[in-house]
A and B are shown apart, each in its own frame.
Chain A
Amino acid sequence: MWSLLTVLLALSATFIRMGVALVVTVAVAYAVGYAMYKSRRVEAIALPVLDVLQSVPILGFFPLALYVFITLLPAVGAELAAVFLIFTSMAWNLIFGVYQSLKTLPREYAEYARLYLNERLSLGHVYVPAALRSVYYNVLISWANAFFFITASEVITLGTEIKLFGIGSLVVSAFERNDYATAYVGIVAGVLANLALYVFVLRRLVEEVPQPPAYLLEKLAVWVKHGFYVVLGGVALFLALVIYYALQSPISAPVLEDLWRGFVNSLLDSPYTLARVLTVLGISAALGLLTLAAVVKRPRLEVGVLISLSILSSVPAVFLYPLFASFVKGEALALVLLIPGGVVYTVFNLLAARRDVPLELVKAYRIGGVVYYLHVLIPASFPYLVTGLLTAWGGAWNATVVAEPLADVTGLGSYMSSAAERGDVAGLLASVLVMTSIVVAVNKTVWKKLYEAAARWRS
């Protein structure tokens, strides 16, 4: 009874924290997305910066969270740090979502706004509502992603460990104490709460795209118009603090040596993680295509698939871990923990390809078997497959920082999380840099090429 109450309180604490982070995220997404849409200069700077930021694993933000918030504001710093970390696992797709939906708004709407409206009304009644569909959809994704990393946000370790009261830290602590009852109650409660949230709130937002009342939209318009300057101010303050701390601890020979060692270890551990990520992508692609083929055949399956996906995405790896650990160990366990994320992204995107499969042609000419897969299904869904795999690629690398240590296997994710635990800032920095570079470099080469190939196909 007592533990059930604790679990419920912990769950509420986590949800409140995530709710606060979500509100901040949506506000920032609108402000930055609109500024990028409005100004080519902002767009040119923000796009590559966001591209890199979305590839930085959550542990990469630990030093920032710790030094800026906890050192500066001892009283409330830990809470702020947690909200900040949750923000980093929610923000990037939402900013891109707002930016892209404004960017793809037909030109006539922008002209209509210029001809007939002022900026406040344009924002409140044209631009903010136009991005809502994408915002709601990305809220769903962001929430799931933030929950996946909830233990990392609530248990901040960098030498010293800071644990905040919440469902993520509660489950971790319970496992550490071998208090399996509490841990399982926590896991079930977390899964159920997310499921309820999906069924009663998030699914409706995505399906019905409800419009906020006019007065709220017009208030939001004021923020969207000026918010970018607030965000810029915040970023500037952040950078100033980081530089200040960096200058206080000048780079000495031992630090350089630590960094060097960190880089070498990171590079040595990367191939293991790379192999795991590629396996996850392969399995995700195969599962995604099979699911697409099934849904094309029986469209009624789509709802069921979507519900299963959201259940899958609302269960964080650390919550799955005790369940799977009793069946599999080591390498297999790492893959089992990584696959859900990859599958969710790939299948989600591939399902959107359903309408692009020329079903009547297939029926009229009785195309089936291998020919159907190779010459109809895969080409028709290729752009969606690329988008899904691209997202899964970045997501899988970042997920290894949680999955690899749980499975106790060698890899970049394990190295990074152990560096954080030891308080080895140089090692953490080096491994974050290596991971981010790998993700961004492959995005810019392989995925970009595939994207271009897909675009050529479609037009």
Chain B
Amino acid sequence: MALLEAEKIKKTYGRVVVFNDLSLAVEQGEFLALLGPSGCGKSTLLRMFAGLEKPDEGVVKFRGEPITGPRREIALMFQSPTLLPWKTAMDNVALPLVARGVSWKEAREAAARYLAFVGLSGFEEAYPSQLSGGMQQRVALARALAVEPEVLLLDEPFSALDPLTAESLRAELVRLWHDNLTTVHTVVIVTHSVDEAVYVANRVVVLSTRPAKVVADVRIDLPYPRNRKSPDFQRYLDQVYSYI
């Protein structure tokens, strides 16, 4: 049984048909990159996995169970950090834990741990406006990890960052997942960068324009951390590019 599954889903917004009979399964332990032209419905699919949207027809499942709303095992990270500007970095990370019944004291302790984990020790009391874009996105990552999910969904998490910051966060994310440093065993990332997809993922799924269909499903068999200069990396890049 696949971990996450979209079965023959259909979705329309007014007259725009986003999906017409799309199926996709994500196995446990995968780092899946969803690639496709902008507006093809990658984010919509991600939001269905997160339980924020429902298909008009068909079903989206987690471990064989239909997803009817947000689930604790699945965390989503947005394109923008979406931090509460009136809360410190620590309280931003702690709040979702409080919502799960943890006391503020314990939640803050956990938050401090996860902030340290993403390299933000010493910034616990900083407000989002005092942090750079990259640091804000790190706080958002700490927030997503702190609820100890099994699945991490990422919606173009690095697209608003400068290239250098994006690169270091990307490498860190891969390390967290590959070295099993957190509870996350499966990652789905939406991206429009072929390079990013081949760099982070062990499986790349390319979607077509609306209504989205799977046009390619490529397994990236390269060791981590990946070397962009290796001929194999280039080969995979060329292969994925050929589908776009």
Is B99 touching A116 in the complex (CB atoms < 8 A)? yes
Q: Are B84 and A126 in contact (CB-based, < 8 A)?
A: yes
Contact A121 B52 (CB under 8 A): no
Residues on B with C-beta less than 8 A from A115 are 50-52, 70, 75-76
* B interface residues with partner A (beta carbon < 8 Å): 47, 50-52, 69-70, 75-76, 78-80, 82, 84, 86-87, 95-96, 98-99, 104, 143, 147
Contact with B87, one of A108, A117, A125 (Cβ below 8 angstroms): A125
A214 to B107, CA, bound (A): 15
- Which residues does chain A contribute within 8 Å of B52, judged by CB atoms? 111, 114-115
Within 8 A of B (CB), among A108-129: 108-109, 111-112, 114-118, 121, 125-126, 129
Q: How far is the CA of A121 from the CA of B50 in the complex (A)?
A: 20
Q: How far is the CA of A111 from the CA of B44 in the complex (A)?
A: 13
Closest approach, in angstroms, between the C-beta of A77 and any C-beta of chain B?
41
Closest to A209 in B: B86
Q: Which of the listed residues A106, A108, A129, A211 has the most CB atoms from chain B within 10 Å of its own CB?
A: A108
User: How does the 8 Å CB contact mask read for A308-339 relative to B, with 1 for contact and 0 for none?
Assistant: 00000000000000000000000000000000
A108 touches B96 (CB 8 A): no
Q: Mark A207-226, 1 if CB is under 8 A from B, else 0.
A: 00101001000000000000
Min CB–CB distance A136 → chain B (angstroms): 13
A40 and B2 CA atoms in complex are apart in Å by 38
Query: Given known contacts A115-B70, A118-B99, is B82 in contact with A106 (CB within 8 Å)?
Result: yes
Is the pair A116, B147 in contact by a Cβ cutoff of 8 Å?
yes
The answer to whether B78 touches A117, judged by C-beta atoms less than 8 angstroms apart, is no
A114 to B76 alpha-carbon distance, docked (Å): 11
* Binary flags per residue of A94-116, CB closer than 8 Å to B gives 1, else 0: 00000000000010110110111
In the complex, which residue of chain B has the Cβ closest to the Cβ of A214?
A: B104
In the complex, what residues of B have CB within 8 A of residue A118's CB? 99
Name the distance in Å between A441's Cβ and chain B's nearest Cβ: 33
Complex Cα gap A433–B238 (Å): 73
What residues make up the interface of A, taking CB atoms closer than 8 Å to B?
106, 108-109, 111-112, 114-118, 121, 125-126, 129, 132, 209, 211, 214
Contact between chains at B82 and A109 (CB < 8 Å): yes
- Residues of the A chain whose Cβ atoms lie less than 8 Å from the Cβ of B51: 115
What are the 6 closest A-B residue pairs judged by CB atoms, nearest first? Answer: A116-B96, A108-B82, A117-B99, A115-B70, A108-B78, A129-B86
| CB neighbours of B75 from chain A (8 A) | 115
Bound-complex Cα distance A112 to B143 (A): 11
Contact A121-B95, Cβ < 8 Å, known A114-B52, A114-B70? yes
Residue of B69, B86, B96, B104 most packed against chain A (CB within 10 A): B86
Chain A residues within an 8 Å CB radius of B104: 214
Q: Within 8 Å CB of B78, what residues of A?
A: 108, 111-112
In the bound assembly, the distance between CA atoms of A109 and B78 in angstroms comes to 10
Whether the Cβ atoms of B86 and A121 lie closer than 8 Å is: no
Residue of B nearest to A117 (CB): B99
**Contact pick for A116, options B79, B80, B86, B95, CB 8 Å:** B95
Q: Closest Cβ of chain B: how far from A73's Cβ, in Å?
A: 41
Alpha-carbon gap, A297 to B150, bound state (A): 56
In the complex, what residues of B have CB within 8 A of residue A111's CB? 47, 52, 76, 78
Q: Please, which residues of chain A bring their CB within 8 A of the CB of B143?
A: 116
Cβ–Cβ contact B82 & A125, under 8 A: no
Write out the residue numbers on chain A whose beta carbons fall within 8 Å of the beta carbon of B99: 116-118, 121
Q: With A and B bound together, what is the CA distance between A214 and B105 in angstroms?
A: 14
Minimal Cβ-Cβ distance residue in A for B52: A111
Residues of B within 8 A of A121 (CB): 95, 98-99
| Residues of chain B within 8 A of A117, CB atoms compared | 95-96, 99
Q: Which residues of B contact A109 (CB under 8 A)?
A: 82, 84
- Cα distance A106–B83 in the bound complex, in angstroms: 11
Residues from chain B with Cβ under 8 Å of A116 in the complex: 70, 95-96, 99, 143, 147
Given A111-B78, A116-B99, A116-B147, 14 more A-B residue pairs with CB atoms under 8 Å apart are A106-B82, A108-B78, A108-B82, A114-B69, A114-B70, A115-B76, A116-B143, A117-B96, A121-B95, A125-B87, A125-B95, A126-B84, A129-B84, A132-B86
In the complex, the answer to whether B70 meets A108 with C-beta atoms within 8 Å is no
Across the two chains, which residue of chain A brings its CB closest to B153?
A115
25 contacts between A and B (CB under 8 A): A106-B82, A108-B78, A108-B79, A108-B80, A108-B82, A109-B84, A111-B52, A111-B76, A112-B78, A114-B52, A114-B70, A115-B52, A115-B70, A115-B76, A116-B96, A116-B99, A116-B143, A116-B147, A117-B95, A117-B96, A118-B99, A121-B95, A125-B84, A129-B84, A214-B104
Shortest Cβ distance from B130 into chain A, in angstroms? 15
List the B side residues contacting A125 at CB < 8 Å.
84, 87, 95
